[in-house]
Chains A and B, each alone.
Chain A
């Protein structure tokens, strides 16, 4: 079943998925090419082996082995001719996978961090074998086939008067304004071009001032030394990391859609607006054969745009109407006021500001890091207050799908009087997977606040810790002579 829409361009390529040959078009990311081939489940959750896929919400869904390298992000990796891609967290092999039997284990049995259980106490003869089994299961992926050859990609240091992070419309406007004031501007963006989402959404934009210096394909992931030093990592692991300094830093990173706290929201086929737009507009791939669009205000505009791009949208509604997402291995329907069959659910909201950089730039405290008013200025939607997330009603929700942490597991801790999010994190591993708590700690906070009946912001979110897998070991090693220790 192909989801490719008419009007696609790019040279045909072939690659393999779990040993099976598939076709792609040059310019597709691996995750996009797999979806175009009708393959939605790309990864398994750590413990219960639930399938996950391309969503833009959870990183775990797009991690797979590519040409002998584990944990490659398939949404950031373009298909190359002959590329070999395979699913992780399987044994003995992805096509005949006995670990899938984990899905038969009652969900109440699989909880806590992998390590915590009184089943096999240490000190006994069995323990080392038990631990080796846990380590094998938790490890998910075989280590890299080969060692890193050659010297690390050397990092570089860049300085500007104004540093703008994020090249959406607000970032471009802020950069243009600063350039017109005669200031030296550096614009850094994760994407390969400016304002790609806005363009995909059909917006017309003013061009970038030619005096703005651009650094594309680089994710700024960390703020150090009270925000005076920022680090960015190129998406391409062969390029060196960058250390950035500026007199003024403007955050224009926009908002990230957060998953709705209903059962089944982790299923392959659920995705955010950006992922859906990139598929339909850039790659001419439909998110599904019949698509439901939900949001907290932007849903109709998004649905119109997707329809214009040839996607069949079967229902548009407020996200608050969503009660559950139905399916076993992928989305089959959504329960709104009525049951709506579909094979993809696109979320246009609500969106939260990614607080990582401003938190790190301002955090202090000797017992716990607490964020304060940050010196980093915010522009565009980043500057607006976050919407309140609706508390979850159903204990069957997965707060952290990667580690299979359910609302029920958190309820058990709350009943014991454990209500500090930092402690819940340590006891459940919630948010300790590849996303590092983004979005899971927002989900956890909304869930616990709902249960305790307190305002969401009254609860301190667990500390946001970079680099959140933005940086490889080799890229970090390349920073050795770039940033001096404090003397």
Chain B
């Protein structure tokens, strides 16, 4: 990693943002034989949401669109260590969605039907099965549990390390602490970017800047839906394994898992005005703690090590914005991610195909950037995010 080498004067594809989306895309492009790829990032390696997320990888949701996309991504995670030649530590420990209210139990039953349609292996657990999967859970509070045995978690630093190494091996040029100052166009299409005073020519520019997506779109002079928002998580001090699978407590908008380092990491959403800051606040910590204490009483006396915030880009339907930007030829977007860690392998591959071959995969099509002006948002009721009214 030579951080001080001069920037190239031109490149074939320039990716703005070297988080997991930018790196996955660069890797997939390089694997398809694209040369002279340049990835620029304003922050430090793993400093954005790709180094701050809850590391959960969920392979199915409650809508067909989300399920088809994330099931494919989950499948790619299974073989990712081999493909990247570095250990991403993907742990297929299962993912349990827990409902407490009756309405949530109904949602989980409908979700199971969606999974059946999509050919997903999921299981509505009866009380005895649930006791087996999550013995520490407060079972008396549960109305239904849907388990995804093929999903899991992958530590973000292992995944970022693996993608980084693989990109370097394939000759991708990566630069951190290199903010893009302007995005240029000429003859009706994107033509490059400027870093400080230096101009870099590019045939294609991809915006993969996470929470900075709106600012980048503005630089390119194109509209983009969505807004930046803070998400928070916290880690408890480690213990030996207590909670096996990843867990979503749907009624509490809380997700969690116990890492391979023994810490319980997770967060619950609270209804607050969207905050554009990396500073953490008290209500999320309190709500997360309440969820832990009530649903896993053995965590009640555990101590909280740290709490942090990360910034994501939220689209109007919470789904990704993925594909060519209709307003400017040569400009592509990978934004709107709040499940970006899970979705990165598929997003990188499908977007690379769209850029190189010009084909839009069926699984990617519903998440087109222009879906809102066309009145086709994707409704996904099974995500763990709060909607501020």
Residues of A within 8 A of B (CB): 69-71, 113-124, 127-128, 131-132, 134-136, 138-144, 146-149, 152, 222, 224-225, 229, 231, 237, 243, 360, 363-369, 416-418, 420, 422-423, 426-427, 429, 432, 434, 436, 463, 465-480, 482-487
Contact = CB atoms under 8 A, between A and B. Distances in A.
Contacts of A149: 297
Contacts of B242: 143
The bracket for how many chain B residues form the interface is 35 or more
Contact of B236 (A122, A225, A418, A473): A473
Given A144-B299, A368-B44, 10 more contacts: A123-B82, A136-B241, A142-B239, A148-B297, A224-B279, A467-B304, A468-B305, A471-B303, A472-B302, A473-B302
A127 to B, nearest CB: 7
B91 A131 contact: yes
Interface in B152-178: 154-155, 157-158, 161
B76 to A, nearest CB: 11
A236 B306 CA distance: 19
B9 interface: no
A121 B300 contact: no
Interface stretch (B126-134, B283-291, B316-324): B283-291
B258 interface: yes
Nearest to A417: B1
Interface in B183-210: none
Contact of B273 (A113, A471, A472, A487): A487
Interface string B241-270: 110000000000000001111100000001
**Majority-rule SS of A interface residues:** loop
A423 B157 CA distance: 9
Nearest to B311: A366
Contact of B297 (A70, A134, A147, A243): A147
Nearest to A226: B279
Nearest to B215: A366
Contact of B307 (A140, A243, A368, A465): A465
Nearest to A121: B81
18 contacts: A71-B303, A113-B157, A115-B89, A116-B87, A116-B89, A116-B158, A121-B87, A131-B260, A138-B262, A139-B261, A148-B297, A369-B279, A423-B45, A471-B303, A476-B304, A480-B290, A486-B273, A487-B272
B298 A122 contact: no
Q: Which of A143, A152, A225 has the most CB of B within 10 A?
A: A143
Given A366-B276, A417-B1, A477-B286, A143 B308 contact: no
Given A123-B78, A366-B276, A474 B157 contact: no
Given A117-B87, A148-B297, A364-B277, A466 B239 contact: no
Contact of A469 (B288, B294, B303): B303
Contacts of A140: 238-240, 262
Contacts of A71: 237, 239, 302-303
Nearest to A487: B273
Interface of B: 1-3, 42-48, 51, 78-82, 86-93, 136, 138, 154-155, 157-158, 161, 211-212, 236-242, 258-262, 270-273, 275-283, 285-290, 292-294, 296-308, 311
Contacts of B293: 148, 152, 473-474, 477
Contacts of A113: 155, 157-158, 261
Contact of A135 (B157, B241, B285): B241
A470 B47 CA distance: 26
Nearest to B288: A476
Contact of B285 (A139, A363, A479): A479
A256 B272 CA distance: 37
Contacts of B305: 432, 434, 436, 467-469
Contacts of A135: 240-241, 258-262
Contact of B302 (A122, A144, A416, A418): A144
A122 B90 CA distance: 5
A31 B216 CA distance: 55
